[in-house]
Amino acid sequence: MTTDEPRPPAREQRTVFGEVAGTYDDVRPAYPPEILTRILDYLGRAPAGVLESGAGTGKATALLRTLDVPVTCVEPDPEMAAVLTGRYADDELVSVVVSGFEDYTPPAPVDLLASAQAWHWLDPARRAGLAHAALAPGGTLAVFGHHYGFADPELSEAINAVYLRLTPEIAHREGFPEHYTPFAPGELSAFADLDRQQVERLVPFPTERYLRLLSTFSNHRLLAPERRDRLHAALAEVIDGHGGVLDHRLTTTLWLARR
């Protein structure tokens, strides 16, 4: 590329999911019904309406839709939003707004604001204030997401060794999810009754499906294709050598706060 040729636009980590929206929708695990039960127990009443920030392809929307109340899904990525819109095209209770949450103002405050696997992509300087403004008095902010742990310590060690050898910059972190929070210190100071809960389950991934799952993670998407291919081939060799199935200890953590 010469200096006078236009450069391709830089890829931001939070905007790469739409490149694989269909795969994301297929392989990302759903949220367990217990999450909604715990949100309702905390809220103390059925919400009149729900606002979802960063709805993606609708993994959490499927759970929220079971409330049988209007659900407004705000999703900035057009490709992700297209999958979501297609799923609920004939559903009068679900509306999709293609926008960043920072650029969206709800027409009226809501009882429940949910953000699944998306809070950390919002502007950290604005998100708590925007969430507070979007909620009715007594309304609930529910932030939740998955952590993909490994059930087999030996397989976990072998997989981490592959990452450390080939892509150390995205090697797995220690101490998560026990000590992880998506919030900055003091971020929720305007909220009350902060709570944190977890639901754990075992989810098996055969080798090929696990590699498809990895292809939807933003840190894998940002790798150069040849490095990603080399990493995934090495991971496949390790998993196949351990029976061809990786059992994830999937921990879904739910953070709750009240306006």
- 129-140 confidence digits (pLDDT tens): 999 999 999 999
pTM: 0.92
> Measured between alpha carbons, how far is 75 from 118 in angstroms, rounded to an integer?
10
Query: Is residue 8 predicted with pLDDT exceeding 70?
Result: no
Structure tokens at 92: 């009068």
Q: Kindly report, residue by residue over 44-64, the tens digit of the pLDDT.
A: 999 999 999 999 999 999 999
Q: Where are the alpha helices (DSSP H) in the chain?
A: 21-27, 33-43, 61-65, 78-87, 127-134, 153-166, 207-214, 218-221, 225-240
**pLDDT tens digit string along 209-241?**
999 999 999 999 999 999 999 999 999 999 999
Q: What is the pLDDT of residues 51-110, one digit of tens each?
A: 999 999 999 999 999 999 999 999 999 999 999 999 999 999 999 999 999 999 999 999
| 97 phi, psi to nearest 5 deg | -115, 120
- For residues 229, 233, 239 and 245, what is the CA-based torsion angle, rounded to 10 degrees? 60
Which two tokens mark 9? 């636009």
**pLDDT, mean of residues 164-188:** 83
207 by DSSP, 3-state: which? helix
Confidence at residue 195, expressed as pLDDT on a 0 to 100 scale: 97
